[in-house]
Amino acid sequence: MSKKKIFIIGSGFSSLSSACYLAKEGHSVTIFEKNKSLGGRARQFKKNGFTFDMGPSWYWMPDVFEKFFSDFDRKRSDFYELKKLDPAYKVFFGHNDFITIGDSIEKIKKAFEIEEKGSSKKLNVFIDEAKSNYQLAVKKMLYEMPGNSPMELINSQTIRKISSFITNIRKDVRKKFKSHRLRLILEFPVLFLGAKSSNTPGFYNFMNFADFGLGTWQAKNGFFDLVNAMVDLGKSLGVKYKTDSNIDSIVVNSNEVNGIYLNGNFFSCDIVVSGADYAHTESLIPRVNRQYSSSYWKSRTWAPSSLLFYVGFDTKIPNVEHHNLFFDTDFDKHARSIYDKPQWPDEPLFYANFTSKTFKKTAPKGCENGFFLIPIATNIDDSTQIRERYFNLIVSRLEKHTGVKLSKNILFKESYCVSDFKNDYNSYGGNAYGLANTLFQTAFLRPNLKSSKVKNLYFSGQLTVPGPGVPPAIVSGKLVSDLIIKDEKNI
Ligand SMILES: Cc1cc2nc3c(=O)[nH]c(=O)nc-3n(C[C@H](O)[C@H](O)[C@H](O)COP(=O)(O)OP(=O)(O)OC[C@H]3O[C@@H](n4cnc5c(N)ncnc54)[C@H](O)[C@@H]3O)c2cc1C
């Protein structure tokens, strides 16, 4: 097999992953990232001694990360420190009303039993089923499904689980558990897949095993430790990284990739892999070569966008944990404002993390770094006034739950929303994490890893297979590399 010159667009996790696999195969690989720093949506923001992950914060499915490094005969622990969180997270339902999720199934069962008598036994059955789905989905199918054909989904094990593709998470959870609060907790993990629980196949309850069975972990400096680890690994394999490098266009001649334009200069290459948002990448090639129309993109179910705040507090904050979910408003009403009738939610639920609770150096002594997230619809107006209104709302709810007048302890705050996702990442509609994993946007029904119209043009990332989230993005990088390596062998 001849060695190829491969250009990768974007430096999100799928790109960092594919770069390593392709360089290991001996190809010459260069990553081009439009922003000043690497990591895509997982960049890091530092200010006045405070450190924040700009995007992902829940480190779930640690086995996927371990597998990635082991594919290069390395260990995750060669690169960064990881700690299992206890408690994993705290869910607030009202004033002095919360459930804490511990770091073991035994602790979680106790919390369930207090909330609903008999629920711990039901949880056992539910998690056993979720574990079996995890073993099938994550250990096997994820790595063997490049999304080429429906046949990938069909094997002796999946046939037995066909009913779990027909039902949905919400139905399954509500059949088994009566407590509204336990239901919300069990429906929460599928939010990572980008859709409502009523629109997510029951099979995806493997996310509940990821949550309760495998636990929530934290790297010392957050997800950026993983970015640095993957870049260090890539450099050791010969990958070159170029930041401040916005690709203007991909040059296609006779339906074949020839190279790229960067800052008005042409650079030739043999293969392009884009980990940038799919619709944006297709806008970089002539219309005639695009696989998907604008009406296709418009008709997709998008994962939410988000309103984010990065806040430096000059005090320690009591009564909150590392990860906190504020489910003290109507979840269904909020979900409708994201998916059914896109608008700002009246009473949003929100998520807050304080990594300084676990790794003290992420904030100055006696301080706390607060990251806040409200999931919202894509493509909505995000003016300064709107952001301010929601910030005040979050702070007053936080004050109620913590019992501290926190508005007096804010050293600084930065916000991030729809227009920032568009400007910084060329994100379609300002989506935060790609295309949702609904039944009709699963596996071969997601956008292709390989262009059907342009030779040597490939795609990876959260809009392709397997879907949104850091672990899937890393797997997506492997799947696209496997495809390229196979295609090159067949020439
Ligand atoms: C707020 C938020 C919270 C999240 N929380 C979690 C979580 O807790 N746990 C979890 O597992 N996942 C979470 N996710 C999802 C996860 O971060 C993403 O699914 C994953 O990081 C996406 O990786 P990707 O490879 O698709 O690329 P992306 O991260 O989308 O990177 C694409 C890159 O391409 C670059 N690019 C675009 N156009 C060009 C161009 N023309 N030229 C050069 N470069 C270009 C962009 O600048 C960007 O850096 C979260 C995401 C967000 C935004």
Q: Which residues of the chain have pLDDT under 50?
A: none
The three-class DSSP label of residue 353 is strand
The contacts of residue 326 (CB under 8 Å, 6+ apart) are 92, 349, 350, 351, 352, 397, 398, 401
Helices within 153-223 (DSSP H only): 156-160, 162-166, 169-176, 180-187, 206-208
Cβ–ligand 1 contact at 432 (below 6 Å): yes
Phi-psi region of 40 (alpha: psi -120 to 50; beta: other; left: phi over 0): left
pLDDT at 24: 98
pLDDT at 166: 80
How far is ligand 1, taken at its centre, from the CA of residue 9, in Å? 12
Q: Which atom of ligand 1 sits closest to the CA of residue 463?
A: 26
Cβ–ligand 1 contact at 22 (below 6 Å): no
Cβ–ligand 1 contact at 40 (below 6 Å): yes
> Residue 59: beta bridge partners?
217
How far is ligand 1, taken at its centre, from the CA of residue 8, in Å? 14
- Taking only the tens place, the pLDDT of each residue in 355-376 is 999 999 999 999 999 999 999 9
Helices within 301-427 (DSSP H only): 331-339, 384-402, 418-425
Rg of the Cα trace of the chain?
22
Domain with CATH 3.50.50.60 in the chain: 5-81+221-299+435-489
How far is ligand 1, taken at its centre, from the CA of residue 11, in Å? 8
**Quick count: other Cβ atoms within 10 Å of Cβ 482?**
16
Cβ–ligand 1 contact at 10 (below 6 Å): yes
CATH number of the structural domain 5-81+221-299+435-489: 3.50.50.60
Cβ–ligand 1 contact at 243 (below 6 Å): no
CA distance 28 to 269: 10
Farthest-apart Cα atoms in the chain, separation? 68
Q: Which atom of ligand 1 sits closest to the CA of residue 40?
A: 49
The residue whose CA has the least distance to atom 45 of ligand 1 is: 10
The three-class DSSP label of residue 95 is coil
Phi-psi region of 242 (alpha: psi -120 to 50; beta: other; left: phi over 0): beta
Q: Which atom of ligand 1 sits closest to the CA of residue 468?
A: 19
> Residue 7: beta bridge partners?
30, 272
The residue whose CA has the least distance to atom 49 of ligand 1 is: 40
Q: For the chain, first and last CA: distance in Å? A: 8
Q: Which atom of ligand 1 sits closest to the CA of residue 246?
A: 42
Phi-psi region of 10 (alpha: psi -120 to 50; beta: other; left: phi over 0): left
pLDDT at 1: 65
Cβ–ligand 1 contact at 194 (below 6 Å): no
CATH number of the structural domain 301-425: 3.30.519
Domain with CATH 3.30.519 in the chain: 301-425
- Taking only the tens place, the pLDDT of each residue in 399-435 is 999 999 999 999 999 999 999 999 999 999 999 999 9
How far is ligand 1, taken at its centre, from the CA of residue 469, in Å? 9
The residue whose CA has the least distance to atom 5 of ligand 1 is: 56
Q: Which atom of ligand 1 sits closest to the CA of residue 38?
A: 49
Ligand 1 pocket mutation, candidates 41, 59, 459, criterion most atoms within 8 A of CB: 41
CA distance 279 to 490: 29
Cβ–ligand 1 contact at 216 (below 6 Å): no
Q: Which atom of ligand 1 sits closest to the CA of residue 416?
A: 1
Q: Are strands 271-274 and 305-313 parallel, antiparallel or unpaired?
A: unpaired
**Whose structure tokens read 């705050």?**
413
Q: Are 51 and 222 in contact (CB under 8 A)?
A: yes
Cβ–ligand 1 contact at 35 (below 6 Å): yes
How far is ligand 1, taken at its centre, from the CA of residue 42, in Å? 6
Cβ–ligand 1 contact at 470 (below 6 Å): yes
Q: Are 410 and 313 in contact (CB under 8 A)?
A: yes
